[in-house]
Amino acid sequence: MSSAEARATAPREGATGPLQGVTVMVTRPAHQAERFCHLVEAAGGQALRFPTLEIKEAHDTAALDALIDRLEDFHIAVFVSPNAVNRTLNRIHGRRQMPSGLKLATVGRKSAQALERLGYQVDICPPSRFDSEALLEQPELQDVQGRDVVIFRGDGGRELLGATLTARGARVTFVESYRRGLPDADTDRVLRQWSRGDIHVIAITSSEGLRNLYEMVGKVGQFWLRGTPIVVGCERMLDTAREMGFKQTPVVAADPSDEAMLEAVQKWAEKRKQTHE
Structural domain for 109, as ranges: 56-180
Shared domain check, 169 and 64:
yes
Local confidence band at 277 (pLDDT 50, 70, 90 cut-offs) = low
Shared domain check, 101 and 128:
yes
What is the number of domains present in the chain? 2
CB 58 within 8 A of CB 179: yes
Domain end (from 122, 145, 180): 180
In degrees and rounded to multiples of 5, residue 180 shows phi and psi of -100, 135
The pLDDT tens digits of the residues spanning 138-182 come to 999 999 999 999 999 998 777 899 999 999 999 999 999 999 888
Local confidence band at 6 (pLDDT 50, 70, 90 cut-offs) = very low
Work out the percent of the chain whose per-residue pLDDT is above 70. Answer: 94
Position 128 scores a pLDDT of 80
**Angle, CA 215 vertex, CA 210 and CA 219 arms, to 5°:** 120
The pLDDT tens digits of the residues spanning 112-128 come to 999 999 999 999 999 88
Shared domain check, 160 and 202:
no
The pLDDT tens digits of the residues spanning 10-26 come to 444 445 799 999 999 99
Shared domain check, 202 and 136:
no
Position 236 scores a pLDDT of 87
CB 124 within 8 A of CB 106: yes
- Distances from the Cα of 97 to the Cαs of 40, 70, 178, 232, in angstroms? 39, 11, 20, 37
Q: Which residue has the higher pLDDT, 156 or 230?
A: 230
Work out the percent of the chain whose per-residue pLDDT is above 90. Answer: 78
Shared domain check, 68 and 172:
yes
Tell me the C-alpha distance between 57 and 100, whole Å.
27
Domain end (from 118, 148, 180): 180
Instruction: Supply the CATH number for residue 243's domain.
Output: 3.40.50.10090
Position 1 scores a pLDDT of 43
Shared domain check, 120 and 93:
yes
Shared domain check, 170 and 60:
yes
Shared domain check, 130 and 226:
no
- Distances from the Cα of 240 to the Cαs of 75, 207, 212, in angstroms? 35, 6, 12
The pLDDT tens digits of the residues spanning 235-263 come to 889 999 999 999 899 999 998 889 999 99
Position 159 scores a pLDDT of 87
Shared domain check, 224 and 140:
no
Shared domain check, 191 and 176:
no
CB 57 within 8 A of CB 178: yes
Shared domain check, 199 and 109:
no
Position 251 scores a pLDDT of 96
- Res. 3: pLDDT tops 60: no
- Res. 5: pLDDT tops 50: no
Domain end (from 165, 180, 195): 180
Shared domain check, 152 and 248:
no
